[in-house]
Structure 1
Amino acid sequence: MMFFHFTIGFVDVWVAGQIDHTVQAAVGLVSQSLFFFLVIGMAMANGSVAAISQSIGAGLQKRALRFISMVLALGFLCGMIIWVAGRLFKWQFLSLLQVPETILPVTGYFLDVFLLLLPAYYLMVVTNAVFRAQKMVLIPLASTAIAAVVNAFTDFGFGLGWFGLPAFGYKGVAWATFASVSAATAFNIVMLFRHGLLRPSSFPQLRWMRRALPYLLKVALPTGGMQLLWHLGYMVLFAITASLPYDSVNALAGMTAGMRVESLLFLPAFAFNMTGSILVGNSLGAGRRDEALRIALRLIGIACGSMTVVGLIMWPFIDPLAAFLAPEPAVTRQAVTYLIYNILSVPFTVASMTLGGIMTGAGATIYTFAIYSSATWLVRLPVAYVLGHLVWQDAEGVYLAMLVSQIFQSSAMLYVLLRRDWYRFSMIKRNNSRNTPGALPPLEGAKTNVRPTV
């Protein structure tokens, strides 16, 4: 699934680079902005993974179905609200990004299309999380494969005019993303109905939602805060790069190209992140704390070891990969420098991302929020500004700051895993105590030692 995510971003950036380097820079800015707008959806997805996987681990299938209906409704509603807000404050948002005048019209067009896509994108993110929590991982795999195929066909067809189709340039690239996400979302909704995971009878009553929502928010709010500050931090990083004293547009395009090559290494780390959240959530839901820790340690070892090997294999090919994705020499040089620093950070980045998934499965997202936010705002951005604007006065200072922040982030997350009581955030502990504030009501047919409260 992560490989297909990689191909979507890779094709977008390659096609944009064939059109013009200014389009490539605009794609980088707006793609990062899209992640910012998806913050709430990602937070709800993480909250739903914790709640659903722990419910399944505890044998509470009806509870899991009710959580599914609730998060889908909330996801679609939030997508609509953010779409409206984004349209109202579009130009103020672009101004905050410090978008250079040369790429402002293209960036504005991409933003219009991506905002229109938000409701469907929210549903795609949440439904994929629902299937992962159920261990039905082949459905998200098929969904992202559909998105990748549709995106590639429409990118090449309507972006560059291949297959006898009209070439619309950057507009074709923008609508390719819209078509691919919409197709994947439609597939997911059909699969939910087909597998009986979404039906009117499973939608919870308001009194159940009032009892269930606190735990969902307990997991989702720190995750949402972390995602907000993390992606806002990336936007500030782009703004720092866009306002560099020298060669800012080429630096933006090079960073965009470098990130797409880098994602070949780091998107698999998201796979380990998701695996950790599912397996740890199931283990804690069944009350097996020791098993949860063993799974966590094994995942970290496998993730860091395997992706470090991949990084070493990729190292000799940095130059040709950068040149393929960013053919203009000035942009190629920027992409190469970016990749050198970020391949060096592979063990640290993969470790922190895997640990983030482990904390999500346990419901201990407050640790992820505190550490990720500190690494971004107290380490990465100050170091990037000082090195990029005051010391070296070019983009290399920004890239070094990214490496330094990943070392800090992974070290702090590992300390939490080994030294802090992160197990206490799991939902099953709340359900075993009748007097626990906000404990969820037992469902019909669920095994419990206390009388139902609803």
Structure 2
Amino acid sequence: MPLTVPAPASKRREIWRLAWPQMLMMVAHFFVGFVDVLVAGKLGTDVQASLGLITQSFFFFLIIAIAVSNGVVAAVSQSLGAGLARRAQRYTMFSLALALAGGLLIFGAGVLLRGPFLDVLQTPPDIRDESAYMLTVFLLVVPANYILNVGNAVFRAYKRVDIPLIALTIVSVVNTVADLGLGLGMWGLPAYGYKGLAWATFFSYLAGALFILFVLARHEILRLRAFPPVRWMKPAWSYLFKVAWPAGLTHILWQTGYLVLFAIVASLPRENVNALAGLTAGMRVESALFLPAFAFNMTASVLVGHFLGAGDTHEARRTGWQILGFGCGVISLLGVVVWQFVEPIAALLTTSDAVTKQIVEYLFWNILAIPFTTASMILVGIMSGAGATLYNLVIFGSATWLIRLPLAYFLGHVVLKDSAGVWMAMLASQVVQAGAGLYIFHFKNWSRFSMRNQKQLPTIRTDQCAPRTQKP
């Protein structure tokens, strides 16, 4: 049966209806990584090291999926907001094809360049074999992961956030069962160790991707005859590319920025090893706080996209302010609660007093930054829904590379000569980032990036190529 967009409720109810399943979705995603690390730890330090190395690299393999997903949310949500269901379906088919092609491209390039890639990562000889095997299997995961990411973006654009939640729950459950079964040999299954751990990731994402394709087909969105003609693809690709490339480049700058931050901490004049351990553990606690923030980020992109598609710029802006107020308020309250238990939480993550001190200090500065970090994440969602990802690129790129990293080095290596300077720089960059984002949101015409304002794309606006008997 055809997929329909749920009827809008009151604004606060709709924000919450979209946000809470996506919070649970992020929890499911969190548990995938958590179980992997837990099982790898039981298999040995070499396996845990290999998993960490390849998992960190895997974020770079997802660049095309993240870029296309941003374009999908903007294009499909705006199409549905404009009442153009056929255009939304065509964008879905086109985007899934791009995702599959991109996934296969990354897989092929990765297999050919696997050896040099491991050399660039400075893979220690002791874990070279495990890392090479995991890299090969993780490359096999890429096409399924791409389909899952883009398919989930499509359903979010349709406001059917229950389907991505089910999909990631399937991924989490299959991954947990396969990790424990194939990795540790539980339930009578053969124990394949690190090989079983790698294949658990493959089977889980394949199951999630197959579920997404099944639901798309069941709702008559995934249909061969709905694939757009070539003359439609050119303007469609033009808009997708305009949204996708800044989103992809933002992801690259963000990930490499964290790698540089780790290097700055690792080379501190004092307590560098303890500071590095504190940063790693502190980020795990902090990431749990930002699961709800990602939910509000995705909610903002969907609702803003729908309103801009309908031509209601005023309501898009008003909704953005409501999500900012609601999201920042909720997550700041969570931060206040966590702040009361910082020391016990830190003590659970390490047996070292020196590392505990570093975790507490890291969380002090970064929980203080929560209102600014949450605002930044929600503003990213708003701009993504509008197709204005170029603003995200400028804001995040500048805040990371012109504020955070130079200031972290200056305060950490020159002024204070310890990790406190790095944590202060992280807070300062979040303040600048949020301030710049709020300025653009309030004063700039970011809605001009929506499809309704792309004068050079008439075929997209009128949905040409539709049958004459069907209204666009």
TM over 0.5: yes
Does the CA-based 8 Å contact 2:232-2:465 persist in structure 1?
A: no
Q: 445, 456, 460: which is aligned to 1:437?
A: 456
> Paired residue for 1:223?
247
- 1:174 equivalent to 2:193? Answer no
Matches within 5 A, 1:98-109: 106-109=130-133
| Structure-1 separation of matches of 2:120 and 2:426 | 21
Give the whole-Å Cα distance in 2 for the aligned partners of 1:333 and 1:105.
37
In structure 2, C-alpha distance between the alignment counterparts of 1:165 and 1:354, rounded to whole Å: 44
Shift of 1:216: 1.0
Distance 2:295 2:247 in 1: 17
8 Å CA contact 1:44–1:75 kept in 2: the answer is: yes
Q: What letter matches 1:276 in structure 2?
A: A
Q: CA-to-partner distance for each residue in 1:173-199, whole Å, 9 max, x for gaps?
A: 333322221211111111111111110
Equivalent in the alignment of 1:234:
258
Equivalent-residue separation in structure 2 for 1:345 and 1:359 (angstroms): 21
Cα distance per residue 1:213-271 (max 9 Å; x no partner): 11111111111121122222223334445556677676656544433332211122111
Q: Greater shift after overlay, 93-102 or 169-178?
A: 93-102
Q: TM-score, normalised by structure 1?
A: 0.87
Give how far 1:135 is off.
1.0
Structure 1 residue 141 corresponds to structure 2 residue 171: no
Q: Corresponding residue for 1:339?
A: 363
Cα 1:338–1:84 change in 2 (3 A) is farther
1:133 is displaced (CA, Å) by: 0.6
CA deviations 1:107-129 (Å, max 9, x no partner) are: 55443332221111111110000
Contact 1:97–1:238 at 8 Å: present in 2 too?
no
Equivalent residue letter for 2:308: L
Task: Name 2:108's counterpart in structure 1.
Answer: 84
The answer for the alignment partner of 1:157 in structure 2 is: 181
**In structure 2, what is the Cα distance between the partners aligned to 1:369 and 1:219?**
11
Q: Which residue of 1 aligns with 2:59?
A: 35
Q: Deviations over 1:75-125 (max 9, x none)?
A: 111111122223334454455555667766655544333222111111111
Q: Is the 8 A contact 1:98 1:243 kept in 2?
A: no
Contact 1:17 1:325 (8 Å CA) reproduced: no
Q: Distance in 1 between matches of 2:356 and 2:33?
A: 18
Cα RMSD between the aligned structures? 3.0
Alignment match of 1:214 (pick from 238, 253, 258): 238
CA–CA distance in structure 2, aligned partners of residues 14 and 274 of structure 1: 29
1:13-412 alignment runs, 5 A limit: 13-20=37-44, 23-24=47-48, 26-97=50-121, 106-241=130-265, 254-324=278-348, 335-389=359-413, 397-412=421-436
CA deviation after TM superposition for structure 1 residue 301, in Å: 0.8
Give the Å deviation of 1:160: 4.1
8 Å CA contact retained: 1:307, 1:346: yes
Q: Deviations over 1:341-396 (max 9, x none)?
A: 33222111111010000001111111111001111111222233344555666655
Aligned residues of 1:23 and 1:170 also touching (Cα < 8 A)? yes
Q: Is the 8 A contact 1:241 1:248 kept in 2?
A: yes
Contact in 2 for aligned 1:10/1:260 (Cα 8 Å): no
State how far apart, in whole Å, the 2-side matches of 1:116 and 1:425 are: 35
Distance 1:307 1:83, change over 3 A: same
Task: Provide the rounded CA distance (Å) in 2 between the counterparts of 1:12 and 1:108.
Answer: 17
Tell me, yes or no, if the aligned pair for 1:345 and 1:407 is still in contact at 8 Å. yes
3-state SS of 2:459 partner = coil
2-side partners of 1:112 and 1:393: how far apart?
A: 41
Secondary structure at the residue paired with 2:74?
Answer: helix
Distance in 2 of aligned mates of 1:243 and 1:167: 40
Note the residue ranges of structure 1 that are not aligned, 5 or more in a row: 431-435, 447-451
Find the counterpart in structure 1 of residue 14 from structure 2. Answer: none
Of 216-225 and 99-108, deviating more is: 99-108
TM-score (norm 2): 0.84
Letter in 1 for 2:342: I
- Length, aligned pairs only: 444
- Quick one: distance in 2 between partners of 1:240 and 1:113? 32
SS in 1 for 2:319: helix
Please give the per-residue CA displacement for 1:267-323, whole angstroms capped at 9, x wherever unaligned.
Answer: 221111111111001001111111111100010111111011111212233344445
Superposition deviation, residue 73 in structure 1: 0.5
* Bigger Cα displacement from structure 2, 5-14 vs 326-335: 326-335
Amino acid at match of 2:290: F
Change (3 A) 1:232 1:6: same
Distance in 2 separating the partners of 1:362 and 1:150: 35
- Larger mean Cα displacement after TM superposition, 44-53 or 324-333: 324-333
The structure-2 alpha-carbon separation of the partners of 1:252 and 1:151, relative to structure 1 and needing over 3 Å to count, comes to farther
Distance 1:365-1:397 versus aligned 2 partners, 3 A rule: same
Query: Contact 2:243–2:388 at 8 Å: present in 1 too?
Result: yes
| Residue 296 to residue 189, structure 1, CA distance change in 2 (3 Å) | same
Residues 406-431 of structure 1 show CA distances to partners (whole Å, capped at 9, x for unaligned) of 2221111111111111111111223x
Q: CA deviation at 1:332?
A: 5.7
Pairing 1:12–2:32 present: no
Is the partner of 2:458 in helix, strand or coil? Answer: coil
Please tell me the residue identity of whatever aligns with 2:256.
Answer: L
Instruction: Return 23-32 or 284-293, whichever deviates more.
Output: 23-32
Aligned partner (choices 414, 437, 444) of residue 413 of structure 1: 437
Change over 3 Å in CA distance of 1:186–1:344 after alignment to 2: same
Closer, same or farther: CA 174–252 of 1 in aligned 2, 3 Å: farther
User: Are the structure 2 counterparts of residues 391 and 85 from structure 1 closer, same or farther at C-alpha, using a change threshold of 3 Å?
Assistant: farther
Query: Judging changes above 3 Å, is the alpha-carbon distance between structure 1 residues 156 and 241 closer, same or farther for their aligned structure 2 residues?
Result: farther
* 1:440 counterpart SS class: helix
* Contiguous gaps of at least 5 residues in structure 2: 1-24, 467-471
